[in-house]
Structure 1
Amino acid sequence: MTVFTKMLLAGITAVTLGLSPVTASAADLIAIITPSHDNPFFKAEAEGAKAKAEALGYETIVLVHDDDANKQNQLVDTAIARGAKAIILDNAGSDASVAAVQKAKDAKIPSFLIDREINATGIAVAQIVSNNYQGATLGAEKFVELMGEEGNYVELVGREADINAGIRSKGYHDVIDQYPDMKMVSRQSANWSQTEAFAKMESILQANPDIKGVISGNDTMAMGAWAALTAAKRTDVIVVGFDGSNDVRDSILQGGIKATVLQPAYRQAELAVEQADKYLKTGSTGEDEKQLMDCVLITPENAGKLETFALTD
């Protein structure tokens, strides 16, 4: 058996065992793991992280966990086996992801979380997230204004295992519940999905034909709700989203959805890579583990400046 063959077999065995063989490692690899790119928000994260990492001289591997904690665990194994120097992660659940981040830490691979927190500290090097509560209060205040402080409304909630779904809902209600003439007639989860939101909105409309507004935990669900409302010829219903997607921007400019809240997905991902680079070079990011980035209300007045989850000058 040649030396090369022995090395190859050793590398295959190491990958199978989830180790880091010399033949499979990359001295400057950053792994980027997000939910499905079918959602433009997560696609923007991946693109922002990849572009920044490559600009800084790193190789990248972009992986998708589809909000499946088991798949995420396997992808972390892949990053470890590939000898990644750092992981940029938008995780698959605040509780379910703790073990995966711990596994990376145990393998001496630092994790930099974006968009979603985990329910643990001291495991990830950084957790860089949008100030979801602040953004939700901005969206709720605009929603109340558009509703004229009264009327029946619906709330579409994100994936229950995602901590952001609960934070946004709380922000909405801390504002809206101050107005006694605002009546929530239905609150349902559509799991961040446009398809689910469309189906849920159809059913809600049948049961509550007199609704005046819909406040949504993200733009993807807002688009699904708006499609169902349009099909039912109910474009009089006020819809407010959250994320700042190009699709909702276009709807706002066309007089459809009335407002959304921008969370800076692209910049957030860039920042995570910048901090990973600094940490790898110096042993510190110079920042606290938990970092909040404020959100911005998007209305017809500034929607024209919105492009790929960022405001242009």
Structure 2
Amino acid sequence: MTPPLPSRRGLIFGGAAVSAGALLTSCTSNESNEKGPAQAGGGAADDKPGKAVTVGFAGPQADHGWLNAINEQARARAKEYEDVTLEITEGSNDTAQQIGQIETLINKKVDVLVILPADGKALTQIGLKAMRAGIPVVNLDRVFDSQQAYRCWIGGDNYGMGLNAGRFIGERLKDKKNAKVVELAGIDNLELTRQRTEGFDDALKNYPNIKKVARQAAEFTVESGQAKMAQLLQAQSSFDALWNHDDDQGVGAERAIKQAGRDEFFMVGGAGSKHAMDAIKADNSVLKATVLYPPTMAASAIDLARALGQGKGVGGLAEHEIPASLTLYSAVVTKDNVDEYLPTGFS
């Protein structure tokens, strides 16, 4: 059986913009660090040079704004360390090709591997192979099917995304009689989509006046967002709120909404793109909030990989070792706090 995802059992870090580096800072140094150009959560964990570490980084193809931001965060964080050399693959959504890229990194005998698998279950064996070869693996976001395939998992909280979106919508509509909400989900065969829906539905259980009247699954693309949102609008003559799982597909949803001339509802997005945050700040559209799924986790993964390669622990914790899992918090960005989170927004 597949073990429960760390997002439901891991350590919860408060504040999406805070990287694991915030805890790692006190491993060997008490000095403060300046922010790097691409990092919103602070500078490198400890900029005092130590043992040289070669980190191999393998992720899926950067064909989505969030995935592109993941690559940028990893590269920018590695550049902040004099003692880190980053070996990064081109990335692929093809399982066999990504496995081949990771095998190349294993053969190069990198010190630590950071892997964001296109499919966690399908790439579990390559994670196991690296661990058996004595290369610690930092499993980023999409979890492997076995805890033996990684030394540390770090990622977002998909259930928490849906839960916090539902709570935000619930509080806004708690005094409205017979309120209606709709959901524009992501790819339905992904576990993360099911978790986001589950969290959303669980939150709405606390608001008996609110009913989810429709749900459509899109594909995390602008085109699919526009097409599926158009279908929702056609099927539902009126509703009060929309929970959209992904800000990239949300761009398409916004287009469909504008074309239909609808504005009787408010929209909550997901992930935390710069486009979404700019719209929230402008406050001139239906988009009023977005729930973060921070790509800063990639910078934190580099921090953790460096610490593993240098045999460090995590400062601020009693344990001598880096935890087995770290789950980032899904903060809700609104007009009231958008300035705080704007630096984390990705294109």
TM-score, length basis structure 2? 0.73
Shift in alpha-carbon separation, 1:117–1:40, aligned structure 2, 3 A: same
1:308 Cα deviation after fit: 4.5
1:87 to 103, 113, 125: 113
Where in structure 1 are there 5+ consecutive unaligned residues? 1-26
Moved more, 233-242 or 283-292: 283-292
TM-score, length basis structure 1? 0.80
The equivalent residue for 1:39 is 64
Moved more, 230-239 or 143-152: 143-152
Shift in alpha-carbon separation, 1:109–1:186, aligned structure 2, 3 A: same
2:304 pairs with 1:275? yes
Aligned counterparts of 1:297 and 1:263: Cα–Cα separation in 2: 10
1:64 Cα deviation after fit: 4.9
Q: In structure 2, the residue corresponding to 1:282 is in which secondary structure? A: coil
Aligned counterparts of 2:170 and 2:265: Cα–Cα separation in 1: 13
Deviations 1:55-100 (A, max 9, x none): 2232223335454433322221232244332222222223223123
Aligned counterparts of 2:168 and 2:127: Cα–Cα separation in 1: 37
Aligned counterparts of 1:145 and 1:185: Cα–Cα separation in 2: 18
Moved more, 241-250 or 63-72: 63-72
Whether the 8 Å contact between 1:159 and 1:165 is mirrored in structure 2 is yes
Amino acid paired to 2:86: T
Where in structure 2 are there 5+ consecutive unaligned residues? 1-51, 315-320
List aligned pairs for 1:120-269, cutoff 5 A. Answer: 120-148=146-174, 149=176, 150-255=178-283, 256=285, 257-266=287-296, 268-269=297-298
1:186 Cα deviation after fit: 2.4
Aligned counterparts of 1:70 and 1:214: Cα–Cα separation in 2: 38
2:322 pairs with 1:287? yes
Whether the 8 Å contact between 1:147 and 1:238 is mirrored in structure 2 is no
State the structure with bigger RCO (CA 8 A, min sep 6), 1 or 2: 2
Amino acid paired to 2:327: L
Shift in alpha-carbon separation, 1:82–1:161, aligned structure 2, 3 A: farther
Aligned counterparts of 2:201 and 2:159: Cα–Cα separation in 1: 11
Q: In structure 2, the residue corresponding to 1:155 is in which secondary structure? A: strand
Amino acid paired to 1:291: L
Q: In structure 2, the residue corresponding to 1:77 is in which secondary structure? A: helix
Percent of residue pairs bearing the same amino acid type: 24
The count of residues paired between Structure 1 and Structure 2 equals 283
List aligned pairs for 1:60-139, cutoff 5 A. Answer: 60-139=86-165
